[in-house]
Every structure is written in structure tokens, then in C-alpha cells.
Amino acid sequence: MLAIGLMSGTSLDGVDTALCEIKGQGLDTDIRLLDFMTYEIDPDLKEEIRCVIRNEEPITDLITSLNFRIGKLFSHAVKEILHKNGLSGKDLAFIASHGQTIYHIPKDTDRLVRSTLQIGEPAVIAYDHGVDVISNFRTMDMAAGGEGAPLVPLSEFILYGEKEKTIALQNIGGIGNVTVMPKGQKEEDVFAFDTGPGNMVIDEAMKVLYGRSYDKGGEVALSGQVDEKVLDSLLTHPYLAMNLPKSTGREDFGELYTREILRNWNCLKKEDLIATLTLFTARTIADSYRKFIMEKFVLDKVIVGGGGAHNKALIQYLKELLPEVEVLTQDEIGLSSDAKEAIAFVILGNQTYHRAYGNILGATGAREQVILGNITPNPTSFRRKDV
């Protein structure tokens, strides 16, 4: 079957769009990436999304409108990759759309219940392309007592199984998350969690200090000096001390958090702040490995994917912090770092298509394995009956 996976992460880099060929399901899944592209988000739309995420004032009407605008954005991304490959929606078995996370509450609070919201109306995509759309992957896991994140571990278990070694698959998008596959690799032994900030804090600081969307190749970080006092202060963030299972997002490490850092430490050189924030991300990853992984297992290999895999400073810091571990990027093993999450949602969509479970209990903390996602059917596939 042909299928498309859509993913827009917390960093708002664009809509990652993966066209894949897939067959089978579960451990018998065979998937091949045919094409990948990142569809740009219009700056005005990006600012409206940030306005909602900042949650500074009642904006119910804007959220309602954005749900359809983001649905159309995702539909345009599908249209472009289909056109590029000479295909139409009729050639697809399904589209798997993660949507755009607006807010994620992994644990109950005094005022709020555990919940999550991803928008990007699937009906718009289904109508535009005449194809079934599978979306809203996180909610069923949360209904089953999980945190709804991280969700990629099942896809990673399917793709990267290597029974002779203990492997950590580290994604560095806006947020960092890791899937751990212990030696022997039984599914029930796999666990995962969010390590903390990925590119999110670095990107926001680059936007404020340099007017750039990210630190390309880690060039700015490599030109600066780390301030240990600032780093020690950052490492006191309460999320980093939490036990598993745990997940996080823009609510903890977003724009407001980053701008407070920049106000508090505006005496530092710009490049030194970027270097410090980059090492901060690397330390949250390495420290969580030593606390949650390396106390139980001999960690043999780390494979880094996501946009952070292109940040040379970040990879250098990780190698220095984990000298006893082989640290590689997905590109170094012949796979696309950028396409990783979009491919993961094709795999999860395929599980839903086959009515098979999509969550791993050791990752989300759910009570049981469940089928993930809502299916919005091709609206023109009905069969007419005489009235």
C-alpha cells in the first residue's frame, strides 16, 4: 500500500511529509520511504499558532479557526508531495496525520485533568484528497491511563530491533525523547520518555538574539563559551528530577521559559548563551540516560534523529558526555533523521488500519495496549441506495 505520514512538531519547523510504501503489520511490517519533504508554514499562520500556545488570553474562536486552517495546511502538504510523484489521493490507502499539538497535560493537576489537544481538521484532508485519514493518535492512550506520549516507540521497535545490544533511539525535535531497547529486545522490556528540551529553547533564543529560526549546524554554539553558572541554574528545572513515566512540551520549555532565561542572563554574550543552551539540551539527555538507563543496563549505542541530529555542537557535546557509548545519527546508518517521525506515524496509522495496537506500555504508562487514532473515512466512498 501507499500511505502518507504528516507531522508538525513543537518547533513549528514545517509539516514533515513522508510518502511511504508499506505492507504487513506489527513485527512483520515492511516500510520503504519513497519521498520526503517539509512543507513550509506561512509566518502569519505560525504566529497564530504561537498565540494559541502561549495561552495568554481567551481565544476559543482562534483555536476553532486554526483547526481548519491547519487542516488545509496539511492538505496542501499532501497535494504537493502527490503532485511531485505523479499520484493522487486515489493511490493512497490512508493518510496518517499527527496534527499540531496545542496543549498537552500529561498528569492531573489541582485544576486540570490529564488531557491533550492536537488540531488540524482531518475532514479537510479527507475531503480534499478522497482518502481515509487517521488522526488524533494520542487520546486513546490517555483514555487508557497513559500520558499519550511518547508514541514513536512501537515504530522504533519494529524498525531498529538489534537483539545483541542495548540501544537508545534519541529524537531531538522541539522536545527530546528517547526509546530504550534493552539487549534481547522483548517488546515488554522497551520503555521511553521525554528527556526534556530538544531544539525548542535553542531555536527561541536564536529567534530573539539573532533573528534566525535555528542555529544552522550548531555554528553559533561552537563559537561560544559555556557559562557553568547558568548551566547549573538551568539544570534545576523540576521536570528533570521527575521519575518515569514522564512527558513534557512547550508548557515547560516554550517561549515564556526561554525569554525568562534571556532576561535573567542578558549580561552574557549572545554566542555564549547559545552554547550554554545547547549544552543544556545535551546534559538533559545524558543525565537522564545515567539516571534511568545506565543504572540498569550497559548502553551500547545511541542513534540520534530529528532536526537536532544536524547540530554539530549538540552531537559533539553528547559524544563528550557519553564517552563509553557509540553515538551515531540516523543519517550515518543510512536513514533520514528529518523523516523519522513522519515515517513513525505511517507505521502507527498502518497499525490502526489493521485494527492493531499502537502503544507501548513502558513508554506511556497506559494500563493496556489499545488501537490508536480516529478514522475519518473518504467522504466519497459511500454506496448510494435507492430511497
Indicate the residue type of 382. Answer: F
Check whether 13 is labelled as a binding-site residue: yes
Question: Is 15 known to sit in a ligand binding site?
Answer: yes
For residues 53 and 102, is the Cβ–Cβ distance under 8 A? Answer: yes
Query: Does the annotation list 349 as a binding residue?
Result: no
Residue type, 365: G
Which residue bears the cell 508499506? 22
Residue 252 contacts residue 205 (beta carbons within 8 Å): no
CA atoms within 13 A on the CB side of 220: 23
User: From residue 376, how far is each of 318, 324, 380 by CA, in Å?
Assistant: 42, 48, 12
**CA 223 to chain CA centroid, nearest Å:** 28
Could you say which DSSP state residue 268 is in?
Answer: S
Q: How far apart are the first and last CA of the chain?
A: 35
Query: Is 9 marked within a binding site?
Result: yes
Give the cell for residue 164.
545483541
Q: Is the peptide bond before 245 cis (omega within 30 degrees of 0)?
A: yes
Task: List b or e across 126-153, with b for residues whose CB sees 16 or more CB atoms inside 10 angstroms.
Answer: bbbbebbbbbbbbbbbbebebbbbbbbb
Give which of 347, 385, 371 is closest to 94, Cα–Cα. Answer: 347
39, three cell numbers? 512543507
Q: Is 10 annotated as a binding residue?
A: yes
16 is in an annotated binding site: yes
Pairing of strands 94-105, 133-135: parallel
List, in order, residues 6 or more apart from 55 with CB less than 8 Å away: 103
Whole-number Å distance between alpha carbons of 125 and 97:
9
- Where is the binding site for ATP, in residues? 9-16
- Where is the binding site, in residues? 9-16
